[in-house]
Structure 1
């Protein structure tokens, strides 16, 4: 009797652990953007780009598919929408209209996908995993995260000049296809225009004739936790218009790790993915 009861309990425990997580498949584009196939309000089939730096959802003015069943008010806000992804149904999702999204996307969706729970971005298997219990993070390295204004910030060490490390905060930005994008203040203070090897440059002007110059360079080393990335693609702006206020850790770098975020958003756990040593994405 004891053995039989033990087996039942063991089976129940295993069954519960299997049921205690939800898997959400995604597609990774050649531009490093994560695309999730959704059905919104049971009518509109939309490809939404996952944006880790936002909580809710949005529709792009450049959408390729119709979003006729999302009703926006005068402030371009739509409340109380349902979003279905396979067997998962999200209720009370807020959409904003006319926000740009990545390539191949009709809009974007943020961390509402995970309902405030711990979650994993698994680039090795093209899936999110949402956990009801504390996830297994064996073989992962913990790094401190700061969650502020819908963004996850991490600290990384930048080797810009020789072997001197410059610590900086980066917001994780899955909507930016490239590697690093530095803030105007960091770029000016560290004289990136002089100290990085520049590989590309483009000048843009607004309607007032003010110019902004985007430059692409190569950062010799970037250290994230105990992992070191070499010859990292890094962009920054110079010119009259200086609107980049934070450093971005873009999608090309995000894909180089598998990520697990705890439910309180204070810790991330990272492990190199199959993309860790892939060539860097070139911003054109």
Structure 2
């Protein structure tokens, strides 16, 4: 009798654990963007790029599939939408119109999918997993995060010249296909143009003839927690236009880890994914 009771308890516990998680499958493009298949307002089948640096949703002006059932007001905003992903349904989702997104996507969807829950970005199995409580964290390293205006920030160390570490906050940005992109302030203050080996450069001009120069350099060391990347490709801007106000921790770096975020958005737990040692993504 005791054995049957124990077996029933273990079965019930396992059933509760499985019910306490929800899974959303995704695919990864060759540009490192995460694409989720959705059904919006029960009518529009849309491929949405997951954007970790926003909460709600958006539709691209270049969307390939019809989005006729998302009704926008004069401010290009649409409220009270439903988003279905498999058997999961999310209500009261806001969409913005005319926002550019990654290739192969009709728009974007943010962390509204994980409101009030811990969640995992599992690049090894191409899925998000949502938890009511944190799962087993054995093998993961805790990393403090700052959650501000629907964006996650990490403090990382950069070794630019010699052995001195230069700390800086980086916004997680899954819409940027590359790895590290420095803000204008960081690039100028640390004199990246002089101190890094430059391996690529491209100049763009706007209608006023002002130039925006994108440069790729080699950073000797980049350190997140106990994880160190050597001789990595990084990007920054120079020229007359100063538009990059935040440093990015982009999709090429995100995919190198499996991530678990707590429900309070104060800590990320990371461990290497199957992409950890892949070559760095090249920005054309």
Aligned equivalents of 1:275, 1:229: Cα separation in 2: 13
Give, in angstroms, the shift of residue 7 of structure 1: 2.2
- What corresponds to 1:29 in structure 2? 29
- What corresponds to 1:138 in structure 2? 138
Aligned equivalents of 2:116, 2:170: Cα separation in 1: 22
- What corresponds to 2:248 in structure 1? 248
Aligned equivalents of 1:9, 1:190: Cα separation in 2: 59
Q: TM-score, normalised by structure 1?
A: 0.98
Give, in angstroms, the shift of residue 116 of structure 1: 2.3
1:50 pairs with 2:50: yes
- What corresponds to 1:224 in structure 2? 224
- What corresponds to 1:236 in structure 2? 236
Aligned equivalents of 1:230, 1:171: Cα separation in 2: 21
Aligned equivalents of 2:188, 2:115: Cα separation in 1: 39
Aligned equivalents of 2:51, 2:21: Cα separation in 1: 21
- What corresponds to 1:80 in structure 2? 80
- What corresponds to 1:152 in structure 2? 152
Give, in angstroms, the shift of residue 3 of structure 1: 3.1
Q: Secondary structure at the match of 1:145?
A: strand
CA shift digits 1:180-234 (9 cap, x unpaired): 0001110001100011111111111111111111111111111111011122221
- What corresponds to 2:197 in structure 1? 197
Give, in angstroms, the shift of residue 56 of structure 1: 0.1
- 4+ runs deviating over 6 angstroms: none
Give, in angstroms, the shift of residue 2 of structure 1: 3.3
- What corresponds to 1:214 in structure 2? 214
Give, in angstroms, the shift of residue 235 of structure 1: 0.7
Give the aligned length. 284
**RMSD across aligned positions (CA):** 0.9
Q: Secondary structure at the match of 1:161?
A: coil
Q: Secondary structure at the match of 1:79?
A: strand
The farther-off stretch of 100-109 and 9-18 is 9-18
Aligned equivalents of 2:136, 2:208: Cα separation in 1: 54
Give, in angstroms, the shift of residue 147 of structure 1: 0.2
- What corresponds to 1:17 in structure 2? 17
Q: Which stretches in structure 2 are left out of the alignment for 5+ residues?
A: none
Aligned equivalents of 2:81, 2:49: Cα separation in 1: 17
CA shift digits 1:133-189 (9 cap, x unpaired): 222111000000000011100011111112221111100000000010001110001
- What corresponds to 1:108 in structure 2? 108
CA shift digits 1:92-122 (9 cap, x unpaired): 1100000000011000000011122100000
Q: Which stretches in structure 1 are left out of the alignment for 5+ residues?
A: none
Aligned equivalents of 1:182, 1:275: Cα separation in 2: 22
Give, in angstroms, the shift of residue 240 of structure 1: 1.1
- What corresponds to 1:41 in structure 2? 41
